[in-house]
Amino acid sequence: MRSESRELRLSEGGGSQLERKILDIVAASGEAGILQRDIWHLLNIDSRRGSRIVKRLERMGFLTREVVVHKGRRMYLLKPTPKLLLVPKLPSVLDEIPCFYCPHLLSCSGEASRVLNCEKLEKWLYGG
């Protein structure tokens, strides 16, 4: 049986925190959803970068994109899927800890030597 936390596999690198922020906003919007462009304003990101991330999250099954007409203009309305709403919400302070969103977390859990020699973790702990 897969654990729920393993369901949320986001991208590696700098994109994962932004993905998580977008998912938090979409999840909080509930059934009403949120206009995609409002997310760009909330997170102060450009639409090109944001659109790439949103399309990826849609392919992963976390949200839906629906074309709507708002004030005479066509735009996307984003809504959370049941898959997104089932993902447990972790405190945002954990976003800074590299292990929480690392694809190697499961393989590292039984290997102290990997953890002790991890550059990402060392950088987070000691800065640099």
Binding site for ligand SF4 (CB under 6 A): 98-99, 102, 104-105, 108, 114-115, 118, 120-121
Query: How many CA atoms are closer than 13 Å to the CA of 52, on its beta-carbon side?
Result: 8
Output the smallest distance, CB 52 to ligand SF4, in A.
24
Toward ligand SF4, which CB reaches closer, 77 or 121?
A: 121
Output the smallest distance, CB 57 to ligand SF4, in A.
22
Asked if 120 contacts 102 with a C-beta cutoff of 8 angstroms, the reply is: yes
Toward ligand SF4, which CB reaches closer, 42 or 105?
A: 105
Q: Where are the alpha helices (DSSP H) in 1-128?
A: 15-29, 36-43, 47-59, 82-86, 105-108, 112-116, 119-126
Output the smallest distance, CB 97 to ligand SF4, in A.
8
Asked if 25 contacts 77 with a C-beta cutoff of 8 angstroms, the reply is: no
Output the smallest distance, CB 25 to ligand SF4, in A.
26
